[in-house]
């Protein structure tokens, strides 16, 4: 499962990594680029409640395979169809749906097949796989595009998704047939979650964290490229994509080590301390003299 997540996520941030290229080639302004970047997350947000809830009714493996197939379709859509704003919007929306069908559903697939102490380690391995692949997607897409063109970057991402599909199809066991429930609750019944104050606290905290992370990853390469051009940085020993990859890898290492600390010291305490440090860092980075 962890290897499959690396393969399917290796193209997750190919679009942000190549954003400066597309803005020039397709004559996109900042708003156009923002819409294409944001539609990925919008599609994910709309799709994930349905797809993740569906794993309570059908084998998560089936949902995961659909998500992987959608991801591969999105990548190859860039290669063979996308040539401007609207076609790129459709391809990135499909990628967002694919992400919804692979990220949390992959975790659910794990949860149904492992338990106890192994589950804690499996979750860390799952997070590390997704994080490392997402981080590497910046530099992989950039390197492939520089050498053979951006179509190659998306072709490789699509091929990796197909490999993930084959791996899960062959290796992951199918779930035993479930007995039909006498009375099934509605598919999108979130009232129990809303009534659970602890669950909602984690959900709101994760929402804010994801908002921050998505904005950073969506615009990091374009921002660093802008800084390089406006400061006349003629000799860069690290490309913007490489810097973004390094920061994302640091984040993944922090996530895995943070999980170990949370196991020993308590998850709620770890989350509180981390978010306070993050807020203080964001406040420190602002020029308050303006």
Which ranges constitute the DSSP H helices of 81-116? 85-100, 103-111
Report CA-CA distances (Å) from 143 to 150, 156, 191, 241.
9, 12, 47, 9
Residue 165 forms part of a structural domain: yes
Q: Residue 197 maps to which CATH number?
A: 1.20.1250.20
Residue 290 forms part of a structural domain: no
**Domain count of the chain?**
1
Rounded percentage of the chain residues whose pLDDT exceeds 70: 92
Residue 9 forms part of a structural domain: yes
Residue bearing the bigger pLDDT, 180 or 100: 100
Residue 230 forms part of a structural domain: yes
pLDDT tens digit sequence for 166-214:
999 999 888 777 666 556 667 777 788 888 988 898 888 888 888 888 8
In angstroms, the CA 128 to CA 212 distance is: 19
pLDDT tens digit sequence for 49-88:
899 888 888 888 999 999 999 999 999 999 999 999 999 9
Give pTM, 2 decimals: 0.83
Output the average pLDDT for the chain. Answer: 87
Residue bearing the bigger pLDDT, 125 or 243: 243
Residue 231 forms part of a structural domain: yes
pLDDT tens digit sequence for 112-160:
777 767 777 777 788 788 888 989 999 999 999 999 999 999 999 999 9
State mean pLDDT over 277-284: 80
- For 22, the domain range is 2-175+187-285
How deeply is 100 buried, as exposed, middle or buried, from its count of CB atoms within 10 A (0-12, 13-18, 19+)? Answer: buried
Residue 182 forms part of a structural domain: no
Residue 280 forms part of a structural domain: yes
**By mean pLDDT, which of 31-40, 96-105, 108-117, 152-161 is the weakest?**
108-117
**How sure is the predictor about 7, in pLDDT bands with cuts at 50, 70 and 90?**
very high
**By mean pLDDT, which of 18-22, 93-97, 282-286 is the weakest?**
282-286
Q: Which of 251, 245, 247 is nearest to 274 (CA)?
A: 251
Residue 81 forms part of a structural domain: yes
């Amino acid at each position: 499962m962890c290897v499959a997540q690396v393969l399917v996520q290796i193209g997750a941030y190919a679009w942000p990594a190549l954003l400066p290229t597309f803005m020039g080639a397709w004559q996109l302004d900042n708003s156009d680029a923002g819409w294409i970047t944001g539609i990925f997350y919008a599609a994910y947000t709309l799709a994930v409640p349905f797809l993740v809830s569906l794993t309570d009714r059908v084998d998560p493996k089936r949902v995961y395979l659909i998500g992987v197939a959608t991801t591969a379709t999105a990548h190859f859509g860039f290669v063979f169809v996308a040539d401007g704003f609207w076609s790129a919007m459709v391809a990135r929306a499909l990628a967002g749906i694919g992400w919804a069908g692979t990220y949390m559903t992959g975790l659910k697939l794990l949860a149904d097949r492992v338990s106890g102490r192994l589950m804690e380690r499996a979750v860390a391995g799952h997070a590390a796989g997704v994080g490392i692949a997402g981080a590497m997607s910046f530099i992989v897409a950039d390197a492939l595009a520089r050498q053979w063109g951006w179509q190659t970057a998306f072709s490789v991402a699509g091929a990796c998704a197909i490999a993930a599909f084959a791996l899960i199809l062959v290796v992951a066991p199918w779930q035993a047939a479930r007995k039909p429930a006498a009375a099934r609750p509605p598919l999108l019944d979130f009232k129990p979650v809303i009534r659970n104050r602890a669950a909602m606290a984690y959900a709101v905290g994760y929402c804010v964290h994801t908002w921050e992370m998505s904005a950073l990853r969506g615009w990091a390469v374009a921002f660093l490229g802008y800084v390089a051009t406006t400061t006349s940085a003629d000799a860069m020993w690290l490309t913007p994509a490489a810097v973004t990859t390094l920061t994302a890898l640091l984040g993944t290492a922090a996530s895995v080590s943070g999980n170990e600390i949370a196991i020993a010291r308590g998850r709620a305490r770890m989350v509180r301390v981390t978010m306070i440090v993050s807020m203080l860092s964001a406040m420190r980075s602002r020029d308050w003299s303006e």
